[in-house]
């Protein structure tokens, strides 16, 4: 019970710390998103399981950085499950890798807001126009992921996330890849910080599917992610990789 209460406390503290980062995800969408009323949001949280959204994308297309020099970090969510007691909460197990150092982490993703896009996209040449889809939506909230203290160079990830999904005609949740052929397409955006257990040194740490949020001049790609030449030496020599977490 004490561990459970501690988790709740840490999550609340995390939300207060990173809440200001939320504007990073919605500032470009304020004219095309509408927040669901509380009743509608609670209904969706109780009715649907969003866990598959976070593990949908092949890890070779999940890019991330840590620190001011944009050192590459790899993040893999191995298991995401909906909490049995809190309908807005998802329990996460995964691994991170920086410079060949691999660490396990356990943590929590908490959904605080759900938005509906005012106008739905139907993909290239309107290929989804007659599919009867119910709409496109955005989940947002915060996360805290704690690495194993017994492993090397470990700490805690805290920040804000944004994930997109759509509902088909049968009200089944799908990862929103309708516009995945468009330049700059991205999903599952995570923005925050990593803090070292021992030194309490905190570093900016962001990752996402296909693109990285708030990545400064790291990404110079037009259609796809491509690191600037000056950052290649910081782990970007080979963008794609095998199943490093196994």
pLDDT 10s digits, 91-114: 999 999 999 999 999 999 999 999
166 burial level (CB within 10 Å; 0-12, 13-18, 19+): buried
Structure tokens of 97? 């890798």
State how far the Cα of 90 lies from the Cα of 105, in Å rounded to an integer: 14
Mean per-residue pLDDT, 157-169: 93
- Residue 226 predicted with pLDDT over 80: yes
Question: pLDDT confidence of 130, banded at 50, 70, 90?
Answer: low
pLDDT of residue 181: 83
pLDDT 10s digits, 189-208: 999 999 999 999 999 999 99
pLDDT 10s digits, 137-149: 999 999 999 999 9
pLDDT of residue 210: 95
Structure tokens of 51? 């866990």
pLDDT of residue 122: 63
Domain ranges of the chain: 2-231
């Amino acid at each position: 019970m004490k561990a459970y209460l501690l988790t709740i406390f840490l999550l609340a503290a995390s939300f207060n710390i990173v809440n200001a980062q939320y504007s990073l995800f919605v500032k470009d969408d304020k004219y095309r998103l509408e927040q669901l009323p509380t009743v509608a949001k609670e209904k969706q949280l109780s009715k649907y399981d969003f866990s598959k959204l976070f593990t949908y994308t092949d890890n070779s297309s999940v890019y991330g950085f840590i620190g001011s020099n944009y050192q590459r970090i790899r993040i893999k969510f191995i298991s995401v499950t909906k909490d049995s007691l809190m309908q807005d909460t998802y329990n996460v197990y995964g691994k991170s890798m920086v410079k060949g150092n691999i660490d396990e982490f356990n943590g929590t993703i908490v959904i605080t807001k759900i938005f509906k896009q005012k106008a739905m996209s139907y993909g290239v040449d309107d290929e989804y126009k007659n599919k009867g889809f119910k709409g496109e939506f955005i989940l947002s909230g915060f996360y805290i992921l704690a690495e194993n203290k017994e492993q090397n160079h470990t700490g805690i990830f805290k920040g804000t996330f944004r994930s997109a999904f759509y509902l088909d005609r049968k009200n089944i949740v799908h990862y929103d890849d309708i516009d995945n052929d468009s330049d700059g397409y991205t999903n599952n955006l995570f923005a925050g910080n990593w803090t070292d257990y021992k030194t309490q040194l905190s570093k900016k740490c962001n990752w996402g599917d296909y693109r990285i949020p708030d990545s400064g001049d790291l990404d110079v790609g037009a259609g796809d992610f491509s690191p600037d030449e000056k950052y290649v030496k910081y782990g970007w020599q080979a963008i794609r990789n095998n199943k490093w977490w196994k």
